[in-house]
Amino acid sequence: MIHQTAIISKDAVIEDNVEIGPYTVIGPDTVIKSGTKIHGQCVIEYAQIGKNCEIFNFSSIGKRPQDLKYQGEHTKVIVGDNTTIREGVTLNRGTAAAGQTVVGNNCLLMACAHIAHDCIIKDNVIVGYSTGIAGHVEIDDGAILSASIGVHQFCKIGKSVIIGAGSMINMDIIPYVTVQGDRAVLVGLNLIGLKRKKVKFSEIEDIKSAYRILFMSKLSLEDAIAKLEESNSLYVKDITDFIKRSQRGITRPK
């Protein structure tokens, strides 16, 4: 299961049923959990890779962050279970700020995507071809980023967001919406995604109402949030909690 040309550090931990292809290098302080397949000519170090992942050729995981403040401190990358990392992905380890870069379970990072230091990518996230995510970005469950997107450092992207190809993200994006453009603007709700997730009709109506209050009423943002906090909807609470945590400000309609 491990090709004879693979180079594996003496302190790496390789669990049972792991496949490692030719000319791959597994560096120090690395754990590869059972059932994971690593194709040829990958480099992985200072990383923990979960169960049943698949990592394709030429990917680089755990190399030092591209941050001039990094001074060689001991940090790592953590990848959850059942995640697929396609060809040429770069996934840098953390800095002293957070100590780790995290990718969750059941994610798909398409070819040539870049995930920078200290990012937190939660479960069931898709990152499209050649998309670049700068440092300290947080992406919540179920978000979909299409191809050739740029995400500014420290941005937060909410649950079940979908971002159109070629978008440039420089502000936070509330949950359950669709954005696109350079600079990206909010263009509506991700209704298709919500229906695919079998969200109830009544709950989708709650989200629609919240959208109208936030962006179509004449209320200030503070007054709109106060009104939305009267709702019992957990989906609306996701939106209000997200806005209250935002530090960069939220993406709005044009």
Q: Show which residues are catalytic.
A: 117-118, 135
Distance CA 254, CA 21 (A): 49
Helices marked H in the chain: 191-196, 201-215, 221-228, 234-245
**First-last CA distance in the chain:** 54
Nearest to 77 by CA among 122, 46, 111: 46
From residue 64, give the alpha-carbon distance in Å to each of 25, 90, 108, 139: 15, 11, 22, 21
Residue type, position 156, single letter:
K
Alpha-carbon span 24 to 31, nearest angstrom: 15
Contact 135, 110 (CB under 8 A): no
Which two tokens mark 224? Answer: 């709109």
Nearest one of 144, 142, 138, 139 to 167, comparing CA atoms = 144
Mutual angle of helices 234-245 and 201-215, in 10-degree steps: 30
Pairwise CA distance, residues 14 & 8, whole Å: 9
